[in-house]
Amino acid sequence: MSNLIFESVTKVFGEGSSKYVALENINFKAESGQLILVVGPSGSGKTTFLTIAGGLQTPTEGDVKINDSTIKSLSEKQQTKLRLEKIGFVLQSYNLVPFLTVEEQFKLVDKLKKQNLTEQKMHELLSDLGLLELLKKYPNQLSGGQKQRVAIARALYTDPDYILADEPTAALDTDRSMKVIELLRDLAHKRNKIIIVVTHDLRLKNTADKVYQIIDGKMQMIN
């Protein structure tokens, strides 16, 4: 049973007059089998929350625990390994390597993880997301929505325990958005993943197991 816990997490940027509190005393817990939505306006601290959850930043105060071990106690190498093996990121932009075809984006993961799942798993994922015909295309040959769906497929490809998604439906129409969220919810429920989606897309509110809102660095559960 995986879990992700924020214990009194505060993140402050800058000092003195330029001091800015991005997150303030956040207590949060996610467990396997949950799709969690974090909503809030631009600049509210949503992405900061997500990057701290993924170990890309350390909190100024408090602790973040993944499976009961504190992220900041891990070495940089261990954190890199954690991200490669346990966490799948879906980011707003620059998500795909521009000089790799869709197929090669998956092969890169294979090379890094020293595995070879390409054919079967990749085809399964791409088929679920309606992307099979794009295998030989480069990112600059894809639409915004196609890029986002490939990025989601790639994040899922490593079969991570956690998926951290930053605006995964930003470039998608309502139909595609709902399909992506349904896919993420199925993954959370059927394969016991923790999926945290940061978004300002309020159309998705009713699809999640829990919904949190961040405003001015403060987080509260709203659903």
CB 85 within 8 A of CB 159: no
Candidates 14, 112, 136, 215; binder of another protein (CB under 8 A) is 112
**Binding mask of the shown chain, residues 139 to 168, with x at each position contacting another protein by CB under 8 A:** ----------------x----------x--
Q: Which stretch binds another protein (CB under 8 A): 32-40, 83-91, 172-180, 204-212?
A: 83-91
DSSP assignment string, 85-106: HTEEEE-SSS-S-TTS-HHHHH
**Rounded CA separation 202/193 (Å):** 22
Q: Read off the amino acid at residue 34.
A: Q
3-state secondary structure of 60: coil
Neighbouring-strand partners of residue 88: 163
47 part of the interface to another protein, by CB under 8 A: yes
Question: At its nearest, how many Å lie between another protein and the CB of residue 57?
Answer: 5
DSSP 3-state assignment of 44?
coil
Do the bridges between strand 20-31 and strand 3-13 make them parallel or antiparallel, or are there none, so unpaired?
A: antiparallel
Region from 43-51, 126-134, 167-175, 209-217 binding another protein, contact rule CB under 8 A:
43-51
At closest approach, how far in Å is the CB of 123 from another protein? Answer: 20
**Residues of the shown chain interacting with another protein in the complex, contacts defined by CB under 8 A:** 13, 22, 45, 47-48, 51, 54, 56-57, 77, 80-85, 87, 89, 91-95, 97-100, 104, 107-108, 111-112, 138, 155, 166
